[in-house]
């Protein structure tokens, strides 16, 4: 019994000693409890750029070069080192106003940083930039940007294709398109040519004040196009070439499309065969219907060299059959083009029938 009492006393004494040691240790200084030494403040550079870092160019033309300069000042008390960083594309270049890609600004000194953007052939909105690097610990990088919209040198309204839909060969039909230059409003039309001047007339006049106001334009031109009576019947696809004094778009092409209907209609309006054998030959026909059942004479004005064309009347008055044939022995390949027929009917002009034959062995 006495032995257990002594053992208990020893345990109590050891525990009390541990507490004393811990209290003593807590009063000593720990290296982790010391405050962090404050950062030493000495001479250092301070880069300051005037204005917004993104410059709004607004609208600019193709094949133009836009430039904008920012003023950079060292407002610190140590040398500021400046050098070129990365850019978004080869068309955007940062330029320092001193030689080389790097420079040093003493305290209080300033320089200009120019960003150059080459529009090339792009069209639409752009947002390009380049980075300027410095040794300013608070501003190690300045991202400079230019933003705007690149317009084509010449714009056509409604576009480069004008669809006249159906045109009556007896009734002249007129239409117009507008042409203007966003970057050079003073652009003029110097000449107009088309593929059928005897049947397609053109004239030019300035856009009216109301037309300019509705499009918010400074200047522009109207090109009037008129299809004259007697235009060849069938599919119309004629090119109008507009010449301008704009250095980047001296020539603009406009396609006029549609169908010219007249005293003769064609059914079907084209021939297309893909199963003709060279050893056998073959062909197809279209019906020519003369309005009012009148009689007419048809002659072949032109055709693809490898084809034969014959026109003959049918049993119905005013209806004719035009047969287009591929002779036997025609070499394999594609034979296509236009069969052009002429008639003695007033204002009928020529009758164009598109044909296409795929000849196999």
The highest-level CATH class for domain 155-261 is mainly beta
DSSP string, 191-216: EEEES-TTTEEEEEEEPPHHHHHHHT
| CATH topology agreement for domains 47-151 and 264-360 | yes
Give the end-to-end CA distance of the chain in Å, rounded to a whole number: 125
CATH level 2 (architecture), domain 264-360: Sandwich (2.60)
* Structural contact between residues 297 and 286, judged by C-beta atoms closer than 8 angstroms: no
Say yes or no to pLDDT of 192 above 50. yes
* Structural contact between residues 298 and 322, judged by C-beta atoms closer than 8 angstroms: yes
pLDDT 10s digits, 291-313? 888 889 999 999 999 999 999 99
The angle formed by the CA atoms of residues 247, 257 and 275, to the nearest 5 degrees, is 120
User: CA 71 → CA 31, 57, 81, 175, distances in Å?
Assistant: 49, 17, 15, 54
Say yes or no to pLDDT of 218 above 70. yes
Q: How much of the chain, in percent, has pLDDT values that exceed 90?
A: 42
pLDDT 10s digits, 7-46? 444 444 444 444 333 344 334 333 333 444 445 468 999 9
Name the more confident of 40 and 268. Answer: 268
Say yes or no to pLDDT of 180 above 90. yes
Using a 10 angstrom Cβ sphere, with 0-12 exposed, 13-18 middle and 19 or more buried, the burial of residue 325 is middle
Where do the domains of the chain lie? 47-151, 155-261, 264-360
Q: Residue 151 contacts by C-beta under 8 Å, 6 or more apart in sequence? A: 59, 60, 61, 62, 123, 182, 183
Work out the average pLDDT over 99-121. Answer: 84
What's the confidence (pLDDT) of residue 2? 44
The angle formed by the CA atoms of residues 57, 117 and 86, to the nearest 5 degrees, is 120
Work out the average pLDDT over 81-98. Answer: 78
> CATH homologous superfamily of domain 47-151?
Immunoglobulins (2.60.40.10)
What's the confidence (pLDDT) of residue 11? 40
Q: What gap in Å lies between CA 353 and CA 339, rounded to an integer? A: 5
Q: What gap in Å lies between CA 160 and CA 242, rounded to an integer? A: 11
Tell me how crowded residue 87 is: count the other CB atoms within 10 A of its CB.
Answer: 17
pLDDT 10s digits, 41-82? 689 999 999 989 898 988 887 788 888 888 999 999 999 998
Q: What share of the chain is helix, strand, coil (3-state, %, to 5)?
A: 10, 55, 35
């Amino acid at each position: 019994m006495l032995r257990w009492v002594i053992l208990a006393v020893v345990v109590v004494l050891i525990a009390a000693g541990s507490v004393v040691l811990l209290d003593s240790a807590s009063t000593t200084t720990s290296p982790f409890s010391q405050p962090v030494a404050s950062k030493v403040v000495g001479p250092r550079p301070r880069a300051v750029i005037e204005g917004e870092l993104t410059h709004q160019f607004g609208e600019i033309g193709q094949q133009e070069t836009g430039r904008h300069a920012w003023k950079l000042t060292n407002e610190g008390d140590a040398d500021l080192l400046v050098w070129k960083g990365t850019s978004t594309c080869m068309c955007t270049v940062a330029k320092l106003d001193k030689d080389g890609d790097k420079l040093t600004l003493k305290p209080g000194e300033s320089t200009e940083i120019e960003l150059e953007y080459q529009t090339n052939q792009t069209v639409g909105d752009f947002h390009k930039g380049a980075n300027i690097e410095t040794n300013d610990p608070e501003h190690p990088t300045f991202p400079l940007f230019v933003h705007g919209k690149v317009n084509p040198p010449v714009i056509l309204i409604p576009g480069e294709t004008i669809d006249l839909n159906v045109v009556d060969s007896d009734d002249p039909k007129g239409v117009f398109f507008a042409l203007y230059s966003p970057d050079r409003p003073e652009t003029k039309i110097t000449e107009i040519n088309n593929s059928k001047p005897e049947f397609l007339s053109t004239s030019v006049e300035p856009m009216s004040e109301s037309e300019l106001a509705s499009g918010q334009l400074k200047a522009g031109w109207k090109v009037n196009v008129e299809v004259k009576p007697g235009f060849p019947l069938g599919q119309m696809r004629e090119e109008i070439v507009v010449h301008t004094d704009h250095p980047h778009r001296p020539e603009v092409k406009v396609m006029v499309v549609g169908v010219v209907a007249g005293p003769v209609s064609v059914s079907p309006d084209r021939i297309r065969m893909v199963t003709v054998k060279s050893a056998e030959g073959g062909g197809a026909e279209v019906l020519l219907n003369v309005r009012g059942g009148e009689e007419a004479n048809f002659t072949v004005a032109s055709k693809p060299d490898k084809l034969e064309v014959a026109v003959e009347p049918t049993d119905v008055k005013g209806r004719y059959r035009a047969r287009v044939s591929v002779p036997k022995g025609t070499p394999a390949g594609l034979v296509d083009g236009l069969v052009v027929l002429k008639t003695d009917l007033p204002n009928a002009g020529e009758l164009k029938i598109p044909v296409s034959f795929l000849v196999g062995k």
